[in-house]
Structure 1
Amino acid sequence: MSSTPVELRDVRAAALRIQHFLHTTPVLTSHSVDVLAGRQLFFKAEHLQKTGSFKARGACNAVFLEKERNPDSAGVVTHSSGNHAQAVAYAAMCLGLPCTVVVPKGTPKVKCDAICSYGAELVFCNPTPVSRVKTCASVAEETGRTIIHSSDNYDVIAGQGTIALELLNEVPDLDAIVVPTSGGGMLAGVSVTTQKIQPKCQVYAVEPVGKNLQRCLEAKQRLWSDPPTFLNTVADSMRLQAVGHLAFPIICEYTNTRVFTVTDDQMIEGMKLTFERMKQVIEAASGAGVYAAVKLIGEVQPKARKVGVILCGGNVDLDKLPWVMPITSY
C-alpha cells in the first residue's frame, strides 16, 4: 500500500502523546436503535471527549508537537466555528501556551463561553471562510503565534486517527464506519487508520446538502469554488463547504467514494433519536452520522452487520435546540 503523509505509526505516536490529557471515550450501543437500523451500531462517544468533541485529539497532538519542536513558541492561533477552537484553547492551556482563536459571528454562545473558559483570547470575524483565514493570518503575523488549522494539518489528522485506533481495538470486526465531515481532518485520520488496521472495513463520509464531496471524490479533484463558501445548515460545525487541501488526497485514497448527504431535517431526526433512545446529548453533525447509519447505509452496503458511528460532538446550545427554534441562515 502506498505511503501517505500520515501513517499508522504517526497515529500510534499521537495516541501515546495525548493519552494523559484526553479520555478514551466509550463505545455505546442501543438495542432499540439496532432494531431500527437492522444491524448492530457502535457509537464512538466523542461528544463525551474533553471540550465536548473529537477535535481535542487533533488539537492536542498538533499543539503538543508545536511545543516539542519549538520550546520558545509564542503560542498558537486558529480559526474555527467553535469545536476546534475550544480544542486548541484546551491544548494550549494544558501547556501554558498563549492562545488566540478566531470564530465567525453567530457561533453558538455555549462554544464561545467554553473557549474563554480555557483562557484563550476570542476574536470574532465575519461569517465567511475568507474572513476567517485573513483574520487568523493577521493575528499570527502580529503575535508570532503558530496557526493550528482544523483539518489542513498532518499532526491534527494523525490525532483524529486515534478515534479509529480506539474503536477498532474495541470492535475489530466492523464492516463500516460513518464519519460526519466538514474540513475532512477526522475523515482523513479515521480513513487512513482504518484501512491500515482493517482494510475490509469501509469508511463513508456524511455531509450536509451542498457539499458535493462525492463528485469531488469520483473526479479525484477539489471542484469547490475558490475561495470556498459556508453552507446554510443547522450543523454549525459542518458549515465549511470544501475539504482541506492536505486532507483531500488522503480521503481520495482511503475513503469510499460513496457519500451520504443528509438534510437538516434528517440531522434533527438523528439528534432526537439519540436523545430519546440513548439519552445522549449530541450536535446536529453527530445526528447526521446517526441518521446515515440507521437509514442510509443499507442502500450501499446491505450486508454490513456491524457499523461504527462517530458521535463527533455534543456542544449544543440548549436554549436553541433546532426543533424548537427557527434555523438561522449563515
Structure 2
Amino acid sequence: MSGKLHIGINDVLKAKSRIRQFVHATPVFTSSTFDQRYGRRFYFKAENLQKTGSFKARGALNAVTALLESNRSIPGVVTHSSGNHGQALAWAAQIRGLKCAVVAPNTSPTVKLDAIRGYGADVVICEPTPISRQETCDRVANDKGYHFVPPYDDLDVIAGQGTIAVEFLEQIPQLDAILVPTSGGGMVAGIAVAAKSIKPDIRVFIVEPNGKDVERSLVAGERLWPNPPRVLDTIADGIRLQQLGHVTWPIIQEVVDKQVFTVNNEQIIDGMKFAFERMKLVVEAASGAGVAAAMSERMHNMDASICHVGVILCGGNTDIEHLPWYT
C-alpha cells in the first residue's frame, strides 16, 4: 500500500478480516432524551468500549499485522502518542509477539501512560511539541531497530480505523451522517472512505477543538496551518494536534464534508456530562467533543433531510481522579 495516495473499501475489508478475531464489535447506544432535545435521531458508536479503551486498537492491530505479513524479522515497533495510539500499539505488539516503545509528551494523562506500560511497552517521555515527538521517536527507532508505526499518517492504520464505518452501517444502515472527532485525521479518513463506498450520499463531518481551523483549509483546498504547528489549548488531549496529516489530508480533502464542527472546552464538558449522567458511559474529552457537536447550533441548522446521525465515542481513557469539571 505504501505507493498509494488513497485507500479503498477493499483495503478496509481486508483490515476487518485481519483484526476481527481480536477487537470488539462495539455497541451502538441511543437516547430518547437526547433525540427529543436536539430534534434528530442520534446513534452513539461506543468505541470507548473497544479494546484498550479507544478506536485506536483497530488501526494499530491492522498495521502491525500487515507489517508482519511483509517482514517477519522486525524486532519491535515504536510510535509517538498522547496515549490512546500508544496503548493500542502496545496491545497490538503484545498480541503479535513484538517489542514496543511509545514516545509520549510530558502532558499525557498518567492513566494512559500506566496502561501503555501495562501492555509491556517502554514509555519514553518527550516535550509536548510535534517536533520533539518525532525526533525522539526517530532516535528510538534508530537505536533499537524498531519499525515506526504512525498514529494516523499510515494507510494500514487508516484502513483499520475505516472498519468502524463498515460495522456502524451494518448496525444502523439508515445513517445520513457521521460526526468524527479528529486529530491527525486517520479515523475520519478511514470512516469516510468506507462509509462513502457503502453509501455514497452519506456525509462525514470532522469535529475539532477551537484553534484547529480545518474548515478554512478544506474550503481553500490547501493546507493553511502554520509551520511549525502548535499544540491546541483544549481539555481533549486525544485531539490536541493542530494539523491534519500529510497522508490523511488528500483523502480527507476528497471525501470528507467541508463543513466542520468546532467545539470549545465548555461544550466538550457538557457532552461528557451527558454521556456520564444520561447514557451511563465513561468517555474521555475527545468523545465529549462528538456529543457536543451533536448538541451544537450548526447541527440544529443542518438540512432536515439529515435525520439519522452517527456520533463516534472515540475513547474512554479518562482520568476519573481529574475530571475536567472538577479542575
- Give the TM-score normalised by the residue count of structure 2: 0.97
Q: Deviations over 1:111-155 (max 9, x none)?
A: 001000000000000111110000001101111111110110000
Distance 1:318 1:302 in 2: 38
Letter in 2 for 1:251: I
Aligned to 1:267: 268
Among 282, 297, 300, the residue aligned to 1:298: 300
1:322 matched to 2:296? The reply is no
Aligned length, in residue pairs: 323
Q: Aligned residue for 1:62?
A: 63
Query: 2:83, 2:112 within 8 Å by CA — same for their partners in 1?
Result: yes
Aligned to 1:84: 85
Partner of 1:185: 186
Q: Which runs of 5+ in 2 are unaligned?
A: none
Q: Which amino acid aligns with 1:304?
A: I
Deviates more, 1:29-38 or 1:113-122: 29-38
1:328 paired residue number: none
Structure 1, gaps ≥5 residues long: 326-330
Question: 1:300 offset after TM fit, Å?
Answer: 2.7
Q: Check the 8 A contact 2:5/2:247 in 1, yes or no.
A: no
What is the identity percentage for the equivalent residue pairs of Structure 1 and Structure 2?
54
Structure 2 CA distance for aligned equivalents of residues 6 and 301 of structure 1: 30
Question: Residue 166 of structure 2 corresponds to which residue in structure 1?
Answer: 165
> How far did residue 73 of structure 1 move?
0.9
Q: Structure 1 length normalisation: TM-score?
A: 0.96
C-alpha deviations, 1:27-83, integer Å up to 9, x for none?
111111111121111111000000000000000000111111111112100001000
Q: CA deviation at 1:4?
A: 5.7
Q: Is the 8 A contact 1:59 1:156 kept in 2?
A: yes
Residue 216 (str. 1) matches residue 217 (str. 2):
yes
Q: 1:197 is aligned with what amino acid?
A: I
Report 1:102-113 matches (<5 A): 102-113=103-114
Q: Write the distance in 1 (CA, Å) between the matches of 2:64 and 2:265.
A: 33
Q: Distance in 2 between matches of 1:12 and 1:253?
A: 20
Q: 1:312 aligns with which of 311, 314, 324?
A: 314
> Matches of 2:218 and 2:107 in 1, distance apart?
31
After TM superposition, give the deviation of residue 301 of structure 1 in Å.
3.0
Q: In the aligned structure 1, how far is the partner of 2:132 from the partner of 2:50?
A: 29
The one-letter code matched in structure 2 to 1:195 is: K
Q: Which residue of 1 aligns with 2:138?
A: 137
Asked whether the equivalents of residues 42 and 308 of structure 1 are also in contact (C-alpha less than 8 Å), the reply is yes
The corresponding residue for 1:229 is 230
Instruction: Please give the root-mean-square deviation of Cα atoms over the aligned residues, in Å.
Output: 1.0
